[in-house]
Structure 1
Amino acid sequence: MYTHQNNYTAAGTPAAQAKAALVMLHGRGGSAADIIRLANVFNLKDTAIYAPEATNNSWYPYSFMAPEQQNQPALDSALEQIGALVEKIEQEGIASEHIYFAGFSQGACLTLEYVARNAKRYGGAIAYTGGLIGERLVTDRYKGDFSGTPILITTGDHDAHVPLKRVEESVEVLEGLGANVTLKVYPDKPHSIWQEEIELAGSVVFNA
């Protein structure tokens, strides 16, 4: 089993001049360089962009719905890496209500898991094909108040890796913590990101 180093790629506006920050989490087999290209499509202004890099290009070894111990210590290490990065961003003067998150697939699952365990007012979160992590959801570890934070979740109705039922369960948990969740389910959508999903992020999260 592996743990993660605090490695990340930075882009966009330097934190000292930025008005917001975006933390981007790549999928299994992807990289920081892959996911950070998406920031260019978002066309954000005055935003510091950070893309952490997973050891072995994977945040945890097994399915996000495997028994949790199978994904340890990698899963806890990944959550700690995000937490350390968020703390760094806040120390640089960007408050949590101006911090955004975006992830795809494994990175989307990790995005939702991190914000749900640390719910407070964020700028927003985007999960392209993902749900909360665990063989079953341990709801008492999700704490805090999103205070209306906009969260966009998109997925296919029969995705091979992320069951729709788990996505719907995740929406229920997030809304219970005070998030303003938008769920978009596409018929027969492949395990990828479509242009429409990118455009939705602009209207639902970044311009909320």
Structure 2
Amino acid sequence: MSNVKVAGKALGEAQRVAILLHGRGASATSILGLREALALEDFALLAPQAPGNTWYPYSFMAPDASNEPAYSAAIRMLQELVEAVIEQGYSSEQLYFIGFSQGACLALEFTARHARRYGGVAAFTGGLIGEQLRADKYEGDFSGTPVFIGASHQDFHVPLSRIEESVQLLTAMGAVVKTIIAPDTQHIIREKEVDWVNTHILNP
């Protein structure tokens, strides 16, 4: 697993595995800082590093082709990482995805394209990727996977309308989705969001 920073418990010893996905301009090291706030003490933590600190070059709502080939490469990287974890003897229900901003979009997009029962998905300010959402791009059944999306009501990068569309599609695919939409306009992770994820996804 090249270009993946690891922390927490060792694979094979941890009962659960979390894949943490950083935002644009950030790094694997920075997203691992979330372990100070999230209840990840018993997890193996895997944080892949995006080439040039960005998973795809343009907005997650830009025309699909404009984000290629980086977008497909990011999805493929996640698929390989998940396969490597499964080969270690873990089930998908022991696997969690946590992302912020661009990483949140990628977490939602990957799991929707490979829907199954996961341990949980926490998307701090994100939505499904694409100029238009196309249900035919996604397959599988989340089978009750808890999914969290938190954001401001007027985020500069992630419109509330896209979050609402994403919730509708994810719910139709069998996810149990919770949103917390804050009244501010900041592009941040809020304490209220962290508390909900800790209580309902990481320590249900």
Could you say whether these structures have the same fold, taking a TM-score greater than 0.5 normalized by the shorter chain as the test? Answer: yes
TM-score range normalised by the length of the shorter chain: over 0.9
Q: Provide, for residues 28-78 of structure 1, a one-character-per-residue CA deviation record: whole Å limited to 9, x for no partner.
A: 000000001102321323311000000000000000000010000000000
Describe the SS at the equivalent of 1:44.
coil
Q: Provide, for residues 83-107 of structure 1, a one-character-per-residue CA deviation record: whole Å limited to 9, x for no partner.
A: 1111111111111001000000000
Q: Percent identity?
A: 48
Q: Provide, for residues 9-37 of structure 1, a one-character-per-residue CA deviation record: whole Å limited to 9, x for no partner.
A: 00010011110000000000000000011
Q: Any residues of structure 2 matched to 1:24-35 within 5 Å, and which?
A: 24-35=20-31
1:50 correspondence with 2:46: yes
> What is aligned with 1:138?
134
**Cα drift, residue 166 of structure 1:** 0.3
Separation (CA, whole Å) in 1 of partners of 2:196 and 2:72: 30
Is the Cα–Cα contact under 8 Å of residues 31 and 54 in structure 1 kept in the other structure? yes
Moved over 4 A (4+): none
Q: Structure 2 stretches of 5 or more lacking a match?
A: none
> What is aligned with 1:87?
83
Amino acid corresponding to residue 5 of structure 2 in structure 1: T
Q: CA RMSD in A?
A: 1.1
Partner residue of 2:186 out of 174, 190, 195: 190
Is the Cα–Cα contact under 8 Å of residues 152 and 204 in structure 1 kept in the other structure? no
Number of matched pairs? 204
Is the Cα–Cα contact under 8 Å of residues 156 and 185 in structure 2 kept in the other structure? no
Is the Cα–Cα contact under 8 Å of residues 39 and 202 in structure 2 kept in the other structure? no
Is the Cα–Cα contact under 8 Å of residues 100 and 123 in structure 2 kept in the other structure? yes
**Cα drift, residue 156 of structure 1:** 0.5
**Cα drift, residue 114 of structure 1:** 0.2
Separation (CA, whole Å) in 2 of partners of 1:109 and 1:57: 15
Describe the SS at the equivalent of 2:37.
helix
